[in-house]
Amino acid sequence: MAHHQSAKKRIRRNGRRAAINRARIGRIRTHVKSVEAAILSGDQESARAALKLAQPELHRGVTKGVLHRNTAARKISRLDARVKAMA
């Protein structure tokens, strides 16, 4: 248990930030899953539209610090390749 005031404040802040970061990661995963579902359905137009919505979410995750830059780039690249391969 923390004894200093600053340590107690840091524990409270860490809890709040963790909740926010979990929500951000969940939002990203939801968008990625929607792209994957559209790919599996075989509809290229809906897959393209879902990818167009997922891309800024992944970039936002990088900006906010919940994803590494290369991780987001890799995910976008692989999703884009799968959507292009549907043609």
Taking the C-alpha atoms of residue 36 and residue 50, their distance in angstroms, rounded to an integer, is 9
Cβ count within 10 A of residue 60 = 15
pLDDT for res 27: 98
Distances from the Cα of 76 to the Cα of 1, 9, 43, 58, 68, angstroms: 42, 37, 18, 8, 13
Using one digit for the tens of pLDDT, what is the confidence trace for 6-62? 999 999 999 999 999 999 999 999 999 999 999 999 999 999 999 999 999 999 999
Domains in the chain with CATH codes: 5-84 (1.20.58.110)
- 79 neighbors 54 (Cβ within 8 angstroms): yes
Q: Which residues in 1-87 belong to E strands, given as ranges?
A: none
Indicate if the pLDDT at residue 1 is higher than 90. Answer: no
